[in-house]
A and B are shown apart, each in its own frame.
Chain A
């Protein structure tokens, strides 16, 4: 149980392209979804927390107009990297949970984004 599907797993595209990443909880309803970014040899960095039907809460330093998050249902959240540039190249991973921090998070497989 508690399976989260994230796709695409890898994206390579030109600078200026917008990229959408989907995160779906397949067998449970996730009240909260989290989007993380991980740079090489660094820890998971929380970008934003989203709750179904409400606006995402972005962490300090994360541009909400750059990283658009939509959490349209209890099973789907999307992250759109708008007008991506090489500095946006990174590993992005989502997780879904039924709580903020007293419930386990169930992760997708992550998306490796490379902007040329």
Chain B
């Protein structure tokens, strides 16, 4: 069974705080790791797709790292803003599963002004 675990389940921070979440995934036969932001009443928005061990990607104040050998990815948000409030989902594609994405439950972030 291939599981993708995300932690924490939810997080409340103050505006201006920096924060990070974790996504754990099966490291064997790894193919790709995705991060998405899902705001309430909107559709999930792709943030990053990473495939190589050691990958680091950045989009504005959001960045992500990837460790395929130990099976984890971190998502960082620098200087959180209220508009960052959303659920952040990660999904892992595994070559042993026809590369289909397996999704985590997400981390729900609330940024208080």
Q: Point out residues on A near B: beta carbons under 8 Å.
A: 2, 4, 6, 41-46, 49, 93, 95, 100-110
Does A44 lie within 8 Å of B31, measured CB to CB? no
Does B46 lie within 8 Å of A104, measured CB to CB? yes
Does B93 lie within 8 Å of A100, measured CB to CB? yes
Does B105 lie within 8 Å of A101, measured CB to CB? no
**Chain B 63-77 residues near chain A, CB threshold 8 A:** none
Would you give the shortest CB distance from B95 to chain A, in whole angstroms? 9
Does A107 lie within 8 Å of B44, measured CB to CB? yes
Which among A43, A93, A106 has the highest number of chain B CB atoms within 10 Å?
A43
Give CA–CA (A42, B46) in the complex, Å: 19
**Chain B 17-55 residues near chain A, CB threshold 8 A:** 31-32, 34, 36, 42-46, 49, 51
Would you give the shortest CB distance from B90 to chain A, in whole angstroms? 10
Q: Taking CB as reference atom, which chain A residue is nearest B45? A: A107
Given A4-B43, A44-B89, do A102 and B49 touch, yes or no (CB 8 Å)?
yes
Q: Which residues in A have their C-beta under 8 angstroms from that of B45?
A: 107
Q: Taking CB as reference atom, which chain B residue is nearest A105? A: B46
Does B105 lie within 8 Å of A42, measured CB to CB? yes
Which bracket fits the contact residues of B? Answer: 20 to 34
Give CA–CA (A110, B42) in the complex, Å: 9
Would you give the shortest CB distance from A110 to chain B, in whole angstroms? 7
Does A101 lie within 8 Å of B100, measured CB to CB? yes
Does A105 lie within 8 Å of B31, measured CB to CB? no
Does A101 lie within 8 Å of B93, measured CB to CB? yes
Would you give the shortest CB distance from B47 to chain A, in whole angstroms? 8
Does A105 lie within 8 Å of B101, measured CB to CB? yes
Give CA–CA (A95, B101) in the complex, Å: 12
Given A100-B93, A103-B49, do A110 and B43 touch, yes or no (CB 8 Å)?
yes
The contact of A101 among B89, B99, B104, by CB within 8 Å, is: B99
Give CA–CA (A104, B36) in the complex, Å: 9
Q: Which residues in B have their C-beta under 8 angstroms from that of A41?
A: 105
Q: Which residues in A have their C-beta under 8 angstroms from that of B89?
A: 43-44
Would you give the shortest CB distance from A45 to chain B, in whole angstroms? 8
The contact of A102 among B32, B46, B98, B104, by CB within 8 Å, is: B32
